[in-house]
Structure 1
Amino acid sequence: MKFSYFYYFCIVSVVALYKNKAQIFQNQLGYCEPFTVEFIAGLVSKEARQILDPGSRPRQKQLRYDLFTRRNPYKRQLLLTGDRNRLLASNFNASWPVRLSIHGWNGQTTTCSNAAIKDAYLARSDYNVILVDWSDYSLDINYFRVVTEIYEIAHQLTNFTRFLHNHTGTSFKDMYLIGHSAGCHIAGMAGKLLHPYKYGVIFALDSSGPVHRSLDAKWRLAPTDAYYVESIQSDVALFGFPADNLAHASFYPNWGLGQPHCPNVTTMEPDFTCDHFGALYYFVESLQNPRAFGAVKCKNYESIENYKCGCGARQCKASDYMGGDPAVPKKGVFYFSTRATMPFGYGDICRMKRPIKSTITRI
């Protein structure tokens, strides 16, 4: 991709503007960062800066952990592994469940999609919501390099959760990991590294597939990585993982293909990533209404590929529901449909719809 010097100057200026903004997290444009700015400006400007100044590359990449509670819903409290004083001075409460949200490639904790997860949890009840920032790694134009670093990233995350456990008494079983895209595989690897203990739940929101589909289960998300693993695959045609071997329960909204609201009712991401982020926004809605997404069980993944799930009618009574918190363990492959506008869920009824093309083929 070629950029004029003028266009590059505009991008760098936008990045600088966002870096100087007050760090306010709220799921509304103007209070959080749409992914569009990060995708265009973050990769290009960072790579160009590091080419011009190799010394600007971080010598040691680190994860940061942004804590939000109902006492600080919009202003993060930064936690660091090993910093016990910082932890004890924060609003972390060991009597509240811990939910760790892990963004995907080229993500940061300041994005609107992260804010959506955080806001939904805090609107529901008292939680320790921790947004895991691995942007030292993720803001890299070389995705293959990022994939090779997932073990290292997960190792840092596991050490942080051990730190929480050791100094607050929080059970690993009370910790849920919510990953999006590559963040799903980070969650899975963290679950492997926690052995012999296990996290309570991993929610995998459109696990990335272009590289990970070819990897052995020991290098990607697998059902054994937590007591319960649930995946929501909304973009199997492009960015997602086209299989059912990631989780105990695998949900395929709209057959995992074109999502009816795309492009782009959320206006938070580039149009061609809309399907990929669909799983994330459906999960957010399930936190607000655990019975929003009624689903029907399918025979196997081939049923999804051949659009053969259902009860033989245009509308089927839901047999199970996607998402929600606390998680309700399920097993198998499931289909559900969504509306083109929010709220996306149909509730107790699953409408059997014809598949539509993925967004990337329609823009």
Structure 2
Amino acid sequence: VYVGNQIDSYFSCRSNSEPEELNLPEDDHAFKSQYFNSSNHIKILTHGWLSSGKTGWLLKIKDAFIRTHDFNVIIVDWSELAKNPAYPWSAFSTRYVGKKTAKMIDAIASAYQIDGKYMHLIGHSLGSHVMGYSSLFSHQRIHRITGSLDPARPLFELPLMNKNCRLDKSDAEFVDIIHSCAGLYGYKRSHGHADFYPNNGKAKQPGCDGLQQVIGSDHIYLKYMLSANNSALRYYS
């Protein structure tokens, strides 16, 4: 889905072998996808700073969602903005990306008569705040946001911003957060309805060094996210 300047999103489900790039028309009611199934729930995923929609763990989570349930899965790729090495630039871009993603959400809801109770937004690092803004600007009341993958702390929790300027439990019916780098790159405080701190939430996590804590480690986030998708939450040290 092309949702604005330097932002692309890609739709996947069991029916399409390759991700479908969708175009968002000016008329929301004209929004169409060749493969979208309005009977299935929607997962919208995005990456964080210095990353992209093609990062390994994100694609693995997408594949796992489709394999376990036939979800409509959309990956929002804002890498042209996220790759800026000046962190504040990328951080301030989350609001813009969130607004564009909200427009996409509303277009889907309008075209297919779907409301937010069928939507689950998932973000890592700065992407967690993108999803918070997406819910804030959308006309839909989003069912769940998993800002589970270390919502970025600098310029959001340090200093502490207004709840409308960061991911907060008011952004969805249920917000769950996994803290694996608490107090350093990720949120230190509890801001969700459910907050999990594997290995006490401290950096460094087993098998994760340096910038992996910022941009995401395939096996760390895949393990936590897939655990969160199971009927019983299980976290391993």
TM-score range relative to shorter protein: 0.7 to 0.9
Number of the residue aligned with 2:82: 138
Worse overlay, 177-186 or 145-154: 145-154
Pair 1:82 & 2:25 matched: yes
Alignment-mate amino acid for residue 188 of structure 2: P
Cα deviation code 1:231-283 (max 9, x no counterpart): 01111142111111x211111111101465324xxxxxxx3134453662233
| Aligned-pair CA distance for 1:107 | 1.7
Number of the residue aligned with 1:282: 223
Q: Secondary structure of the equivalent of 2:10?
A: strand
**Distance in 2, Cα, partners of 1:259 & 1:87:** 44
Number of the residue aligned with 2:196: 251
| Aligned-pair CA distance for 1:89 | 4.6
Taking a change above 3 Å as real, the CA distance of residues 128 and 250 of structure 1, as seen in their structure-2 partners, is: same
Contact 2:44 2:120 in 1 (8 A): yes
Pair 1:159 & 2:103 matched: yes
Cα deviation code 1:174-220 (max 9, x no counterpart): 1110011001111111111125x311100012111122111222210
Number of the residue aligned with 2:145: 202
Number of the residue aligned with 1:218: 164
Query: Can you give the 5+ residue segments of structure 1 that lack an aligned partner in the other structure?
Result: 1-59, 264-270, 294-335, 340-363
Contact 1:189 1:221 in 2 (8 A): yes
Which structure: larger Rg? 1
Number of the residue aligned with 1:347: none
Contact 1:258 1:275 in 2 (8 A): yes
Q: Secondary structure of the equivalent of 1:212?
A: coil
Q: Secondary structure of the equivalent of 1:241?
A: coil
Query: Can you give the 5+ residue segments of structure 2 that lack an aligned partner in the other structure?
Result: none
Percent identity (aligned): 26
So what's the TM-score if we normalise by structure 1? 0.58
Contact 1:180 1:280 in 2 (8 A): no
Q: Secondary structure of the equivalent of 1:199?
A: coil
Matching residue within 2, 5, 8 for 1:64:
8
Q: Secondary structure of the equivalent of 1:272?
A: coil
| Aligned-pair CA distance for 1:116 | 1.5
Contact 1:116 1:284 in 2 (8 A): no
Contact 2:30 2:111 in 1 (8 A): no
Contact 1:262 1:275 in 2 (8 A): no
Alignment-mate amino acid for residue 209 of structure 1: R
Alignment-mate amino acid for residue 202 of structure 1: I
Number of the residue aligned with 1:242: 188
**Distance in 2, Cα, partners of 1:81 & 1:175:** 18
RMSD, aligned α-carbons: 2.3
**Distance in 1, Cα, partners of 2:13 & 2:188:** 35
Number of the residue aligned with 1:37: none
**Distance in 2, Cα, partners of 1:109 & 1:219:** 23
Matching residue within 98, 105, 108 for 2:49:
105
